[in-house]
Amino acid sequence: MNTTFTEIAERYLENLLETYPVTATCLGDHRYDAHLDESDQAARDLAANSAKGFLSELGKVEHPELSRDNQVDFALLEQALRKEIWQIETLREWEWNPLVYSGLPGNAIYSLMSRDFAPLEDRLAHAASRCRKFPRLFEQARASLIPELVPSIHAETAIEQNKGILQLLEAFLVPELEQLPEALKADLADAIAIARQAVESQQSWLETELFPGAKGNPRISETLFREKFDFDLFSTLSPEELRARAESEMTNLHQEMYELSEQIYREHHSEFSPSPNPTPEEKKELIRKCLEFACDDAPSAEGVVDAAYHSLEITTDFVRKNELAPIPDAPVEIILMPEFRRGVSVAYCDAPGPLEREGKTFYAVSPPPKDWTEEQVQSFLREYNHRSLHNLTVHEAMPGHYVQLLRSNENSSRLRSVLSSGTFIEGWAVYTESMMMDEGFLPGDLLMRLVVKKWNLRGVANALLDQMIHLDGIDEATAMDLMVNDAFQEEREAAGKYRRSLLTSVQLSTYFAGYMEVVDIRAETEKSWGSRFELKTFHERLMAFGSPPPIFVKSLLLDEAICYE
């Protein structure tokens, strides 16, 4: 049975990599670097039928007879196949979400040029080949999208991301022209011209046809949300259970933040005497006053990357000194987020693909948009003050995503590396924020502890906002009230998160859901190991299984039965 399953899994991977060549490049398989994904109905039919075929084959595998590792991989593969069919036939984003297409051409070039995995001339030749396929890709996108089903916010974001593709061509390809032999130089110049024309034509279509006709509802239905929740989280938590835990955690965090704020405010105002019975609003007001002290210590718009580098230095020193997690040898570079990827999140970690396993990791930070007013820029910088950037760096890099993703890449299962769980990945990163504080990061800095709890509150608000948007149908004012008044976010952060909640669904739930599950795993491990529990060993073991959903990490770590439902 193990041999049968392994053969099916390998054929699935080969089919996946050939069908989605841009994904293959990002994952670190470079056999298809000259190709670009097909995005028409024939390609979707082929993908759905292929997934159904693999599901049929899996149905003949007796999964209890598999090894424990293969039992996990069996569950992941079965879930991935069912999800692909559901995405194509039920969710049908290909007909209403232009972001499905806008990221492809940018990633097609960026994934080739951002890392030196092959000689420059080879990568440029493949980039030229992909550029020549831009007209076909955009034509397929225009034929697939139904303007009246497209939400205006998705069309608007696609317009901005599409502009970023032109910037990407200018930044990564044009500067290389003069270094090339004449034949390759002429070929690349011609390919860039074709790509530029295709992007400009797509820009015109987005602005003059798609956006004016975009009338869709960005909120997916309750049925779709619940189905996506199950597919994406692969968790024992239901939406109701996650929401109940989030509401309870918000209450707890408000009280903890108030108690911290009493100490902080007294340090600044020795005559301060708190109310013996403060109301919830009085508690929030004191918390806001203390968060102001952190907001006042912020970088300039031009100094965000330098500030992030400082954060990386001090967090790395702390993790190394306290032996909290293995520190990778591979380099990490902090960069400004490429324009074609902006508009959804403020930062991300871009590690080498699990099939490549070498090369630098990029910790990308998005600067304030150039068209923002000075007031909006200051709102952004207040939110991402120096202490907040420390916590962002903990989450994205040390010991968050950078450490965990590179550790995950060491797992021997190619299938598990490819079918990674965002819930576990985000859960680990959120967990490290509080863990660093508990272990004494920046000792005596009560403001840092307050800021971290504000970030904890952000994860809670993410989960609540996700359901309130897509299940309750709340309006922007209610969403902003949740984030500004209950989660203490600055206006620009709250506005960006509201936008993100409309552009995505369920993804915002992964942070708090994953965090809760990682916390639960640690509690059960401490109970199981007793006096043998040691934090670094726990972290190393936790990350050793790759990035499967937390339910499987727990089963593998504690030698429990592998669950399938």
pLDDT tens, 87-141? 999 999 999 999 999 999 999 999 999 889 999 999 999 999 999 999 999 999 9
Give the rounded distance of the alpha carbon of 365 from its chain centre: 13
Question: In the structure encoding, which two tokens stand for residue 117, read together?
Answer: 């995995």
Copy the structure tokens of residue 374.
């000075």
- Residues forming beta bridges with residue 137, ordered by sequence position: none
86 Cβ contact list (under 8 Å, min separation 6)? 227, 231
Cα dihedral across residues 266, 271, 276, 277: positive or negative: negative
Q: Is 59 exposed, middle or buried (0-12, 13-18, 19+ CB in 10 A)?
A: exposed
> HSE on the CB side for 64, CA within 13 Å?
1
Structure tokens that stand for 467 in this block = 């359901």
Predicted local distance difference test score (pLDDT) of residue 330: 87
Interacting residues of 477 by C-beta distance below 8 A, sequence separation 6+: none
CA nearest 237: which of 518, 475, 453? 518
Contact between 381 and 299 under an 8 Å Cβ cutoff? The reply is yes
Does the pLDDT of residue 186 top 80, yes or no? yes
Are 51 and 84 in contact by the 8 Å Cβ rule? The answer is: yes
pLDDT confidence bin for 338, thresholds 50/70/90: confident
Q: What pLDDT is recorded for position 358?
A: 76
For the stretch 133-183, pLDDT in tens is: 999 999 999 999 999 999 999 999 999 999 999 999 999 999 999 989 999
* Contacts (Cβ under 8 Å, ≥6 apart) of 55: 78, 81, 82, 85
User: Which DSSP state fits 558?
Assistant: T
Angle between helices 222-233 and 239-268 (to 10 degrees): 80
pTM over 0.75: yes
